[in-house]
């Protein structure tokens, strides 16, 4: 295991975390690792922030830290962050049994490599192997979107029938998402299933996307693309851009819901926060206009329940979900 125990002032101790036990009881889902005193080392790799923390098997987050993602030397910064969090653990939190890692996609499973479009420094990087070697724990790798979907299912307090058939879209500087079908996250062949960032939402003269295509959802809803287009902060976006953003999200959600037979669609991220509740209303309206099949009439659009803790909880649940199998 990396590091040794000690006091590290820059690391945050979390005094009153939410408990997955409470959520599990309210949702009728048993916590199958209840009573295990080992902790999860959760690591989240995003284009804006690198985060790490310790989360209990019952969902308590006791230590966490984060740094701004550098343009270069991403792995070095992440390695220092993980070492710092591990060194900050107390004797009470000494036993680390699992390690969950989430990263912006695409990822490549089962090889454990990542190639996030917005992070050139990590193209083809063997992230799972490097984290496993650093921690002496077999790490579990997921996309950030899959992690957030699992975290919303377990920690979000949503109706269990809805959460077992759910779409999650996170629109920030990049766009990611995940899909839950029959209570299980959809992984696909390489671990990238469920990300709606590259669902086609505009056929004619679509905006160019980082993936090399055009008309994908991502350039219509990511903060980076929107602010570049309007040349001003997102909160000052004109009404036409707010409307278009909601329409494009609604198109993507309706397409996915018809494919996965979903009951709930959750949206979140800096774009949703920046454009306000009016955006959610537009998304819900557009989704309803396009999702006309009889089995989609109860499809509901809402915002994510989890806040800043969401990414690390997603990484933790990624590891815990494997432990429960």
Nearest Cα neighbor of 119 from 66, 76, 79, 73 is 73
Q: Are 315 and 149 contacting, i.e. CB atoms less than 8 angstroms apart?
A: no
The strand order across the sheet containing 175-181 reads 184-185, 175-181, 166-171, 264-268, 300-303
pLDDT value for 160: 94
Query: In the structure, what pLDDT confidence band is assigned to residue 38 with cuts at 50, 70 and 90?
Result: confident
Query: In the structure, what pLDDT confidence band is assigned to residue 3 with cuts at 50, 70 and 90?
Result: low
pLDDT, tens only, 164-190 = 999 999 999 999 999 999 999 999 999
Q: Are 158 and 166 contacting, i.e. CB atoms less than 8 angstroms apart?
A: yes
Three state DSSP letters for the chain: CCCCCCCCCCCEECCCCCCHHHHHHHHCCCCCCCCCCCEEEEEEECCCEEEEEEEECCCCEEEEEEEECCCCCHHHHHHHHHHHHHHCCCHHHCCEEEEEEEECCCEECCCCEECCCCCHHHCCECHHHHHHHHHCCCCEEEEHHHHHHHHHHHHCCCCHHHHCCEEEEEECCCEEEEEEECCEECCCCCCCCCCHHHCECCCCCCCECCCCCECECHHHHCHHHHHHHHCCCHHHCCHHHHHHHHHHHHHHHHHHHHHHCCCEEEEECHHHHHHCHHHHHHHHHHHHHHCCCHHHCCCEEEECCCCCCHHHHHHHHHHHHHHCC
**Phi, psi dihedrals of residue 205, rounded to the nearest 5°:** 55, 45
On the CB side of 167, CA atoms within 13 Å amount to: 29
Q: Which domains are present in the chain?
A: 12-147+309-323 (3.30.420.40), 159-303 (3.30.420.40)
Query: In the structure, what pLDDT confidence band is assigned to residue 89 with cuts at 50, 70 and 90?
Result: confident
Query: In the structure, what pLDDT confidence band is assigned to residue 13 with cuts at 50, 70 and 90?
Result: very low
Q: Are 101 and 18 contacting, i.e. CB atoms less than 8 angstroms apart?
A: no
pLDDT value for 36: 64
Query: In the structure, what pLDDT confidence band is assigned to residue 322 with cuts at 50, 70 and 90?
Result: confident
**Distance of alpha carbon 107 from alpha carbon 24, whole angstroms:** 29
Q: What is the mean pLDDT of residues 21-32?
A: 42
- Report the share of the chain in percent with pLDDT over 90: 77
- Whether the predicted pLDDT of 259 surpasses 90: yes
Record the tokens describing residue 272, joined without a space. Answer: 């949703």
Q: Are 153 and 162 contacting, i.e. CB atoms less than 8 angstroms apart?
A: no
- Whether the predicted pLDDT of 15 surpasses 90: no
């Amino acid at each position: 295991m990396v590091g040794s125990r000690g006091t590290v002032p820059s690391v945050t101790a979390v005094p009153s975390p939410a408990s997955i036990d409470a959520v599990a009881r309210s949702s009728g889902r048993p916590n199958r690792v209840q009573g295990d005193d080992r902790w999860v080392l959760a690591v989240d790799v995003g284009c804006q922030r690198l985060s790490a923390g310790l989360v209990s098997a019952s969902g308590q987050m006791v230590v966490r830290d984060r740094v701004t993602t550098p343009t270069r030397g991403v792995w070095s910064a992440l390695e220092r962050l993980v070492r710092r969090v591990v060194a900050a653990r107390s004797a009470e939190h000494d036993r680390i049994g699992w390690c969950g890692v989430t990263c912006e996609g695409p990822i490549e499973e089962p090889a454990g490599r990542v190639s996030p479009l917005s992070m050139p420094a990590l193209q083809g990087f063997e992230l799972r192997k490097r984290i496993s070697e650093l921690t002496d724990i077999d790490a579990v790798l997921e996309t950030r979107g899959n992690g957030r979907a699992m975290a919303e299912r377990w920690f979000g307090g949503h109706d269990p029938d809805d959460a077992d058939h759910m779409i999650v879209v996170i629109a920030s500087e990049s766009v990611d998402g995940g899909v839950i079908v029959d209570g299980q996250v959809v992984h696909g062949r390489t671990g990238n299933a469920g990300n709606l960032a590259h669902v086609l939402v505009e056929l004619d003269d679509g905006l160019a996307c980082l993936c090399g295509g055009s008309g994908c959802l991502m350039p219509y809803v990511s903060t980076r693309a929107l602010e570049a287009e309007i040349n001003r902060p997102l909160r000052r976006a004109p009404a036409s851009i707010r409307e278009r953003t909601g329409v494009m999200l609604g198109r993507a959600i309706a397409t996915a819901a018809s494919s996965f037979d979903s009951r709930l669609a959750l949206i979140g991220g800096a774009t949703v926060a920046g454009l306000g509740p009016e955006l959610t209303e537009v998304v819900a309206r557009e989704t309803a206009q396009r999702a006309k099949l009889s089995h989609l009439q109860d499809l509901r659009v809402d915002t994510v329940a989890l806040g800043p803790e969401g990414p690390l909880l997603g990484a933790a649940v990624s590891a815990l979900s494997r432990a429960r199998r």
